[in-house]
Amino acid sequence: MFTNRSFTLENGLVVPSENVATIAACASVVEGVSRSRNALLNGDTRNYDWDSGYTCHQLGSGAIVIQLAQPYSIGSFRSVLS
pLDDT of residue 68: 92
pLDDT of residue 5: 57
Give the SS3 label for residue 54.
coil
Point out the residues of the chain with pLDDT beneath 70: 1-7, 79-82
pLDDT of residue 82: 46
At a CB cut-off of 8 Å and minimum separation 6, what does 74 contact? 16
The rounded distance, in Å, linking the Cα atoms of 36 and 41 is 10
pLDDT of residue 60: 87
Sign of the torsion angle spanned by Cα atoms 23, 28, 34, 37: positive
C-alpha distances (whole Å) from 54 to each of 29, 33, 74 are 11, 8, 23
Q: What value does the CA radius of gyration of the chain take, rounded to a whole number of Å?
A: 14
Name the pTM for this structure. Answer: 0.69
pLDDT of residue 67: 92
